[in-house]
Amino acid sequence: MHKLIVNFTPTGMIPTRKMTPYVPLSVKEIVQDVYAAWVEGITMLHLHAREPSTGEPTYKKQIYAEIIEGVRAYAPELIICVSLSGRNTSDSEKRAEPLELDGYLKPDMGSLTLSSVNFNKKASINEPETVQALAKIMMERGIRPELEVFDVGMINYAKYLQKKRLIAEPFYFNLIMGNIACAQPNLLHLGVMINDLPPGSLWSVGAVGDFQLMMNSVAIAIGGGVRVGLEDNIWFDPERKKLANNIELIRRIHVLRQANGRELMTSAQLREILELEPGHNGRYGIKK
Average pLDDT of 75-100?
88
Amino acid at 44: M
Q: Per-residue pLDDT tens for 251-272?
A: 999 999 999 999 999 999 999 9
Q: Per-residue pLDDT tens for 175-220?
A: 999 999 999 999 999 999 999 999 999 999 999 999 999 999 999 9
Distances (CA, A) of 287 to 11, 99, 132: 29, 16, 22
d(CA 208, CA 214) in angstroms, rounded, equals 10
Q: Are 80 and 48 in contact (CB under 8 A)?
A: no
> For residue 66, what pLDDT is reported?
98
Measured from the Cβ of residue 88, the count of other Cβ atoms closer than 10 Å reads 16
Whole-model pTM: value is 0.97
> For residue 13, what pLDDT is reported?
94
For the chain, domain boundaries:
6-273
CATH class of 6-273: alpha beta
